[in-house]
Structure 1
Amino acid sequence: MKKQPLYQKYLSLKYIGWGLFGLVIFLSALLIGYFIGFNQVEDELVRERVQTQHLVKQIEQIAAIDEYSAIPSKTKEAAYDSEIKRLQKELQALLEQEHRREPLKPQHEYAPKEPKASPPPAAVRPKRLDGTQPKLVIIIDDVSYSRDVRAIQSTGLPLVMSFLPPSPRHSESAQLAQRQNRYMVHLPLEAIDFNDEEPFTLHVGDSEETIGKRIIALKQLFPNVRYVNNHTGSKFTGDSDSMEKLIRVLKKEGIQFVDSRTIGKTKVPEVSTSLGMRYIGRDVFLDHQDGVRNVKRQIKEAIEKAKHHGTAIAIGHPRPDTIQALIESKELLSEVQLVGIEQI
């Protein structure tokens, strides 16, 4: 509750005093007139008026002193209220701006204006020659919220979660990652055409020092990170100079880059080879088209690639259709060994 200023209390006291003394005079007049008589009442009234005037003057002096001294306090209070209102407006504006941004929607970037476009092709790889059981890695990108983790775990399959770095929209992603036995970081890189860029996205033209600071910061957020794959990045991964800087930094920090292949003309294979790093890239996108049936068809394709090459990497997102398709494909997936990237 807001405290009443002191000068207002004194002003209230002044009016109460006037009322009380008026009442005292009236009652005194009645009593004195009844017991003593009108002549004596007149003398008493004169005396009471003198006392009342004297008291009124004292109250006015006190009130005047309090009003004078209260001016700075009132000014400060007004300034304080004004500052609070200003901060409230700024906070409200920030909240409204943040609310206008919807929660992150797991999505592909390679063709934002053509939802039915085919994804960029996988890298060309040799046919498997040995008779070992084929291995399939299924990466689930854009993991950002606890609901994503719960959905992925509901499949009962050893899927690999790739977490986006924390942002105002998904501030707990790093904490969620650290609760997992294994995880990846979904590293935001610049796209050719994408209107929902993540904070701290690395851009073409960033210096190696800038890239290095970002990777070190990510290692602090994700202490056990050993693999990263690109979130968006069609422009960045298509630029040789940018990828050279990034892979040099990652190699120094003991991190392997996994190419999501969001662009057909990716420079990651040649840059990785030139810097003595193994190239690992996505073979199949599971959910570039909506619908459980479409995702199941892609799961089958990923299994076939794993059988043909011995290994394969599929990438999906924590969408309801994807999760349901994975659950319904458990028998089909038993034809391969689901593993982490470190096992291929």
Structure 2
Amino acid sequence: MKRFYHTILITLGLSIGTLSFAQADQTNSAQLIIIIDDIGNNYALGNAIVELDAPLTLAFLPHTPHAKTLANKAHLHHKEIILHAPMENTFKVPLGPGALTRELSETEFKQTLKKAIASIPHAQGINNHMGSLLTQDTQSMKWVMETLKDEQLYFIDSLTSPKSVAYQQAKKYQLPTLRRHIFLDNDKSYEALNEQWSKALRIAHKTGRAVLIGHPYPESRAFLAKELPKLAAQNIELIPASQYLLQQAWKKFEPSNQQHTQNRANRYLLQNKNNHSSENTLPIVSDAQALISQTTSPQAH
């Protein structure tokens, strides 16, 4: 599947859209990454999330009726798009098309994942849908990471099991990676949503960033529509996942190399400022450079 990566320094393994390296490291705010899962089966629910005026990261289920249409629209609305990859769970809940299970051979497993990735336009990474069983299996996670390295995509561990080895395997394969801190809407009551939201903000202020996962429920959408405009006043910056990963990769370079890299990046951006195709609107990170070291205790799902 063809992708449009704008490589600044191939040897550094970094690529960006419209965000320069200089911009990537200029933040004093705590940062919040919000991922909305399970988009693609219901157009109305997915569209309501797409139309929220905020840089959300949207996770699309593969081979679903409305995934392509909504992903294309989300891209035009400056959302980040990832694959929500169905993975085997401990409760034997049906996974739908594109399911990854331990019963698949290596070839079948990787082909299934690649087809799922190809089914979602503009995908920059993936996270796991369910997966409480598969993410515990080291061999399966190695196959996931090998595929993502080939496809130049990042990985976010939804942490549906406290025994997940997915995040650790992503780091071993030197993939840009994050893991979830909080689920927003296991309980959709306003009180529960507010409690989970508050936990996420506290983590962001304490550690510098938080990863929050929600779903396209009407209750969640209404809650986000109310709370998102308040983030700036709370000194919290809402960013797509790739922007954080790019910032972390940038911080790893020695100061003596940063100016050289920045100058090359800025020259590239200047040369391409009049060529902003739909593939250029979001910052992206290619493989092998953003190893995320900050961790907090995972919350079981």
1:340 aligns with 2:240: yes
Residue 154 (structure 1) shift: 4.9
* DSSP-derived class of the 2:187 partner: coil
8 Å contact kept, 2:62–2:84: yes
> Residue 34 of structure 2 corresponds to which residue in structure 1?
138
Equivalent of 1:177 in 54, 66, 71: 71
RMSD: 1.9
> Residue 88 of structure 2 corresponds to which residue in structure 1?
190
Matches within 5 A, 1:113-152: 132-144=28-40, 145-152=42-49
* DSSP-derived class of the 1:202 partner: coil
List, as ranges, runs of 4+ consecutive aligned residues in structure 1 with deviation greater than 3 Å: none
Residue 132 (structure 1) shift: 1.7
Describe the shift of the 1:256–1:131 C-alpha distance in structure 2 as closer, same or farther (beyond 3 A): closer
Deviations 1:2-55 (A, max 9, x none): xxxxxxxxxxxxxxxxxxxxxxxxxxxxxxxxxxxxxxxxxxxxxxxxxxxxxx
Residue 254 (structure 1) shift: 0.7
Equivalent of 1:273 in 133, 154, 171: 171
Q: Based on CA coordinates, which of the two structures has the bigger radius of gyration?
A: 1
> Residue 157 of structure 1 corresponds to which residue in structure 2?
54
* DSSP-derived class of the 2:185 partner: coil
Structure 1, unmatched stretches of 5+, are 1-129
Q: Percent identity?
A: 27
8 Å contact kept, 1:286–1:314: yes
1:200 aligns with 2:200: no
> Residue 133 of structure 2 corresponds to which residue in structure 1?
235
8 Å contact kept, 1:226–1:256: yes
* DSSP-derived class of the 2:58 partner: strand
Residue 320 (structure 1) shift: 1.6
- Amino acid across the alignment from 2:46: V
- Amino acid across the alignment from 1:135: Q
Residue 331 (structure 1) shift: 4.7
Equivalent of 1:324 in 222, 226, 229: 222
> Residue 245 of structure 1 corresponds to which residue in structure 2?
143
Q: TM (normalized to structure 1)?
A: 0.58
**What CA distance in whole angstroms lies between the structure 2 residues aligned with 1:131 and 1:236?**
36
Q: RCO greater where, 1 or 2, for CA within 8 Å and sep 6 or more?
A: 2
8 Å contact kept, 2:182–2:213: yes
Which structure shows the higher helix fraction? 1
